[in-house]
């Protein structure tokens, strides 16, 4: 058997015939095995890489079919692919060293499976093979050391040499540095183009900011590149009007900042010392899928990330997982509530000044204990640490609603929504603004905001619940029936009257007395 691993993935038999499986998942399965230690993996590991967004039953069925397809494609070589109830492996093992030829193109170029777990694995694999390339000037030969915190470099290039251009670069650099600092155990270094980095460590990722300040408009190019090959992970551009306040208030700027930070997170997935950070980022994506499979996988990822510098954030997110189980799936057992509070208390001890930890602790405290004063105090501390952090603004907004400060809550929610632009789960902040609009009696606005959330994430239960209830309140029974039908696919026992139950998760409607307004409509 002969392999071609760079460029299009190809498998040839001993006679030189192309026996590459046709299906992309089948090619992905074979590539995963070939690149694995001992060319062996558990079924669960393989299913998580290729079908992470399906239920275990669906993933198991898909893996069985894919294995059958691979064996058929390999023909006489199919006997080398083995499996049992727990594992999949190749035997005899297939040598892969001769299959690498960077001149043929990118590693596994035609296996771009749209699954976040597979994408993370492939990105890490490609970065390991990439050759070095020139970048900013460093003081010594660069090598990443296992015992050092990895570096994220923000490299500022000022093409205009004006005070305004320099200020814009530094302000954007500061916002990105704050986001990176909250993300994980990175040392963030900000440099101008002619600076020298005094370090023996090659940066794990670079964010390049290039500014040209014209008379009326400043133009900024943003690039996130991986190392050592400086392959572009994400790029964007900004046009900034003379009002410098746009740097902090513009939704476009927030979107660019968040995508740059997320680009760094994607880039460093396979970097030594950053396994915990990568696990937490994958877990957050899982949490905001809001299904039991995703929540369970998120908890597993977080459990494995609870050692070292990121113990606090991992614990706080585990507390939020328990809160989600309680609210979304009505699994509010006393043990789970106690565990959630224990998690956030430990998180606060481990990371007392971490804005996201404080924000999550505020939300868990508010929802599970009803201690509004403590929740508001924690939200205030979160804002003090990072006043543009959308998680902190979310926590503050929810306490303001319950304090009856509805106008202020809406202003905070609107700001949170702008600052969450570009995040994969920005739909959550659309719903926050929806709840704040409900508290002001602005039903048309709240419906539009819930609809925005639904459009971004059609399976987001809170959006469907509020679209159903608000459509009833707005005298739109056909719309209510439509959204109720969508919700019933996720909650088979749902019917309109369930909205009136005390334990159904529409707490804002209950707190504002709108359930009583809804009651005669549904009678």
Are residue 231 and residue 162 in the same domain, yes or no?
yes
Residue with tokens 């606060």: 348
- Domain assignment of residue 207, yes or no: yes
Q: How many C-beta neighbours within 10 Å does residue 19 have?
A: 18
**Across all residues in the chain, what is the average pLDDT?**
87
For residue 288, give the DSSP letter: T
Question: Picking from 82-86, 240-244, 389-393, 504-508, which range would have the lowest pLDDT averaged per residue?
Answer: 240-244
Q: Domain check: are 123 and 224 in the same one?
A: no
Cβ atoms of residues 383 and 367 within 8 Å: no
And the tokens for 283? 């877990």
> Residue 321: inside a domain, yes or no?
no
| CA-based radius of gyration for the chain | 25
Residue 262: DSSP 8-state? H
d(CA 432, CA 428): 6
- Domain-located, residue 75: yes
**87 and 188 fall within a common domain:** no
Of 226, 245, 267, the domain-final residue:
267
Residues 121 and 6 in one domain: yes
Counted domains in the chain = 3
Per-residue confidence band for 107, with pLDDT thresholds at 50, 70 and 90: confident
Strand partners, 210: 157, 221
pLDDT at 196: 66
Rounded-to-integer distance, Cα 20 and Cα 57, Å: 27
**Quick one: residue 16, left, alpha or beta (phi over 0 = left, psi -120 to 50 = alpha)?**
left
On whether residue 288 sits in a domain, the answer given is no
Within a domain: 422: no
Q: With a threshold of 0.75, does the pTM exceed it? A: no
Strand partners, 211: 158, 220
Report the pLDDT value the prediction gives residue 304, as an integer from 0 to 100: 87
Helices 477-490 + 461-473 axis angle, to 10? 160
Residue that terminates a domain, selected from 213, 239, 267: 267
Could you tell me the CATH number of the domain that includes residue 518? 1.25.40.10
Q: CA–CA separation, 207 vs 217, rounded Å?
A: 22
Q: Which of 246, 201, 182, 175 is nearest to 190 (CA)?
A: 175
| Dist. CA 278–CA 120, nearest whole Å | 9
Token pair of 435 as six digits: 């709840």
Give domain status of residue 28, yes or no.
yes
Is there a single domain that holds both residue 19 and residue 123?
A: yes
Distance of CA 163 to the CA centre of its chain: 36
Beta-carbon contacts of residue 140 (< 8 Å; ≥ 6 apart)? 200
Average pLDDT over residues 108-129: 79
Which distant-in-sequence residues (6+ apart) come within 8 Å of 61 by Cβ?
none
Q: Which of 267, 298, 332 is the last residue of a domain?
A: 267
> Which of 75-89, 100-114, 312-326, 500-514 is most confident?
312-326
Q: Are residues 112 and 156 in the same domain?
A: no
CA distance 90 to 126: 22
What is the mean pLDDT of the segment spanning 351-370?
96
Regarding whether 213 and 111 lie in a shared domain, the answer is no
The span from the CA of 407 to the CA of 405, in Å, is 6
Q: Which two tokens stand for residue 182?
A: 């909250």
Question: DSSP readout, 323-357?
Answer: HHHHHHS----HHHHHHHHHHHHHHHHH-TT-HHH
Share of the chain above pLDDT 70, in %: 93
Q: Which residues pair with 151 in a beta bridge?
A: 187
**Which residue intervals of 268-388 are DSSP H helices?**
275-287, 292-303, 311-328, 334-350, 355-369, 372-385
**Structural domain of residue 486, as residue ranges?**
427-523
CA angle 325, 329, 333 (to 5 degrees): 60
The DSSP code for 131 is P
Task: Examine the domain organization and report whether 109 and 15 are in the same domain.
Answer: yes
Residue 35 lies in a domain: yes
* Claim to verify: residue 125 and residue 201 sit in the same structural domain: no
Tokens, residue 338: 């106690």
Question: Residue 10 is part of a domain; what is its CATH number?
Answer: 1.10.10.10
In a domain, 404, yes or no: no
What is the rounded average pLDDT of the residues 58-69?
90
On whether both 232 and 160 belong to a single domain, the answer is yes
| Residue 177's pLDDT band (cuts 50, 70, 90) | very high
Same domain, yes or no: 156 and 125: no
Q: State the CATH number of the domain containing residue 173.
A: 3.40.50.11830
- Which of 173-187, 247-261, 408-422, 503-517 comes out lowest in average pLDDT? 173-187
One domain for residues 27 and 81? yes
Mean pLDDT within 280-289: 89
186 against 218, higher pLDDT: 218
CA distance 105 to 112: 14
Q: What percentage of residues in the chain have a pLDDT greater than 90?
A: 53
Give residue 21's Cα distance to chain centre. Answer: 31
pLDDT digit string (tens) for 445-504?
999 999 999 999 988 999 999 999 999 999 999 999 999 999 999 899 999 999 999 989
422/175 Cα distance (integer angstroms): 14
């Amino acid at each position: 058997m002969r392999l071609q691993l760079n460029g299009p993935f190809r498998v040839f038999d001993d006679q030189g015939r192309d026996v590459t499986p046709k299906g992309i998942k089948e090619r992905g399965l074979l590539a995963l095995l070939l690149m694995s230690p001992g060319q062996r993996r558990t079924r669960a590991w393989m299913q998580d890489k290729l079908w992470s967004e399906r239920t275990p039953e669906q993933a198991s069925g898909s893996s069985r079919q894919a294995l059958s397809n691979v064996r058929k494609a390999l023909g006489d070589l199919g006997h080398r692919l083995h499996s049992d109830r727990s594992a999949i492996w190749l035997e005899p093992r297939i040598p892969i060293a001769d299959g690498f030829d960077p001149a043929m193109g990118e590693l596994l170029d035609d296996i771009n499976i749209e699954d976040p777990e597979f994408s993370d694995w492939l990105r890490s694999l490609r970065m390991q093979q990439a050759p070095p390339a020139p970048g900013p000037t460093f003081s010594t030969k660069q090598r990443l050391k296992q015992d050092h915190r990895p570096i994220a470099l923000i490299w500022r290039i000022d093409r205009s040499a004006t005070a305004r251009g320099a200020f814009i670069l530094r302000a954007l650099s500061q916002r990105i540095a704050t986001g990176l600092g909250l993300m994980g155990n990175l040392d963030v270094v900000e440099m101008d183009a002619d600076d020298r980095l005094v370090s023996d460590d090659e940066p794990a990722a670079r964010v390049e900011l290039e500014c040209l300040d014209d008379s009326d408009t400043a133009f900024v190019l943003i690039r996130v590149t991986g190392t050592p090959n400086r392959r572009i992970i994400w790029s964007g551009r900004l046009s900034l009007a003379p009002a410098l306040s746009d740097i902090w208030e513009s939704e476009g700027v927030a979107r660019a900042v968040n995508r740059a930070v997320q680009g760094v997170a994607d880039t460093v997935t396979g970097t030594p010392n950053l396994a915990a950070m990568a696990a937490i980022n994958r877990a957050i994506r899982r949490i905001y899928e809001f299904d039991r499979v995703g929540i369970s996988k998120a908890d597993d990822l977080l459990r494995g990330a609870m050692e070292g510098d990121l113990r606090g954030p991992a614990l706080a997110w585990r507390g939020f997982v328990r809160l989600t189980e309680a609210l979304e799936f009505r699994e509010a057992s006393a043990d789970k509530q106690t565990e959630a509070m224990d998690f956030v208390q430990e998180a606060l001890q481990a990371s007392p000044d971490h804005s996201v930890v404080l924000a999550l602790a505020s939300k868990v405290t508010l929802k599970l204990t009803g201690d509004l004063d403590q929740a508001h105090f924690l939200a205030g501390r979160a804002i003090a640490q990072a006043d543009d952090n959308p998680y902190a603004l979310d926590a503050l907004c929810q306490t303001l609603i319950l304090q009856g400060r509805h106008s202020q809550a809406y202003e905070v929610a609107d700001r949170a929504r702008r600052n969450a632009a570009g995040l994969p789960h920005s739909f959550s902040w659309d719903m926050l603004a929806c709840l704040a609009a409900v508290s002001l009696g602005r039903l048309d606005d709240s419906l539009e905001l819930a609809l925005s959330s639904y459009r971004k994430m059609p399976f987001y239960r809170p959006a469907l619940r509020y679209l159903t209830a608000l459509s009833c309140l707005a005298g739109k029974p056909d719309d209510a029936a439509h959204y109720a039908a969508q919700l019933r696919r996720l909650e088979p026992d749902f019917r309109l009257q369930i909205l009136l139950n005390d334990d159904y998760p529409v707490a804002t409607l209950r707190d504002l007395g709108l359930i009583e307004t809804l009651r005669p409509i549904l009678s």
